[in-house]
Amino acid sequence: MKKTSPEPREEDKIPPPVPTENSSDEAEATEEDLVASLQSDLDRFRDLALRTQADFENYKKRAARERDEGIKYANRSLLERLVPIVDNFELGLSAAREEGKHSPIYSGMSMVLKQLTDFLADNGLQPIDAVGKQFDPNLHEAIGHEPSDEVPEGRVIRQTRRGYRLKDRLLRPAAVVVSSGRVGSNDE
């Protein structure tokens, strides 16, 4: 037996909307709102894409700069460990000089020191000459002050340990004694 669906009742039937002049205005307004909404979304996503692209370009530049800097200063730890050896070698050379500048030990040590300093210079290590220069806390480490009639106040009298730069960065500051001016001028 075939079942048939009951006829909808009269009160359940919804009449179709009757077009009026206001409904076409509402449809136009809705379309305009939709277009405006889509345009604002498009603008927002375009802006997001441009910002993301700029961020990525900045990241690539920063990564390249960090990579180049890593390569440029890769030998830093090795050179930091070699500098005290150079210091001790120079001390040994001064002791050999006392034996006589014409001794074979002094000549041999002088040649080895020259080779070592040339090697370090080829790798970007530059000594800091401080004696007679104005004290610079970026390059020098003051280990003391002494009065001096010959050296003006604020200038380096002597260097007790040589400082070094690695290319454009400070590797080790020079340990220096700084002039405090004329003898007796500080008592006034």
Per DSSP bridges, beta strands 169-172 and 163-166 are antiparallel
Longest Cα–Cα distance of the chain, Å, equals 131
Inside any domain, residue 175: yes
Inside any domain, residue 113: no
pLDDT of residue 176: 95
Residue pLDDT, tens place only, 22-73: 556 666 778 888 899 999 999 999 999 999 999 999 999 999 999 888 887 8
We report the CATH number of the domain holding residue 138 as 2.30.22.10
Total count of domains within the chain: 1
13-to-5, 20, 115 alpha-carbon distances in Å: 15, 21, 105
Q: Which helix (H) or strand (E) holds 71?
A: helix 21-72
- The Cβ of residue 18 has, within 10 Å, a number of other Cβ atoms equal to 6
Quote the DSSP letter at residue 134: B
Domain with 155 in it = 126-188
The pTM is what? 0.60
pLDDT of residue 20: 53
Inside any domain, residue 75: no
Q: Which residues of the chain have pLDDT under 70?
A: 1-27, 184-188
Inside any domain, residue 85: no
Inside any domain, residue 131: yes
| Rounded Cα–Cα distance for residues 166 and 168 (Å) | 6
| Rounded Cα–Cα distance for residues 120 and 88 (Å) | 15
| Rounded Cα–Cα distance for residues 58 and 60 (Å) | 5
